[in-house]
Amino acid sequence: MTVSFAHFRFSLHVMAAAVVLSAIGSVPLRAQVAMTPELEAAVQAVQRADQADADQYAPEPLNAARQALAQAQAAQAARDKKLAADLALRAAVDADLARARSQEAVAVAEVQQRRTEIAELQRTLGEEGGR
């Protein structure tokens, strides 16, 4: 009888699932605290800043946003709703600032690129007009 490779693949999946389930079972479950709207907004703002390449163009406000978000999450875990909301709002504002600065830097770079292209075209046209 010939053993199929599909049988091995299935066995590997079963073993991987068993390892994952045993790892999950060994970790004590903590009570999950539902995210507040302020905290969700802060998480989304940080994600938008990440997507706008704020790491490259506006690292300081992005780092401030990440720190405030981490503090907000810790305050929420400690059940300090007021502090968590305040820190989440600060994180969202810092993340929005980082995103805006990043978008500005990209726009400025694009404008500079276009100006360079225009100058090159004008130089080329000037050379051809002089012939």
Sign of the four-CA dihedral 109, 115, 118, 119: negative
The first and second tokens of residue 62, run together, are: 């992005």
User: What are 12-51's pLDDT values in tens digits?
Assistant: 454 555 554 454 444 444 445 688 999 999 999 999 999 9
Task: Look at residue 29 in the predicted model and tell me its pLDDT.
Answer: 40
**pLDDT band at residue 6 using 50, 70 and 90 as cut-offs:** very low
pTM attached to this predicted model: 0.68
- In 3D space, the residue among 60, 66, 69 whose CA is nearest the CA of residue 101 turns out to be 60
CA distance 131 to 128: 6
pLDDT digits 0-9 by tens, 81-98: 999 999 999 999 999 999
**Average pLDDT along the chain:** 83
Q: How far apart are CA 93 and CA 40, in angstroms?
A: 13
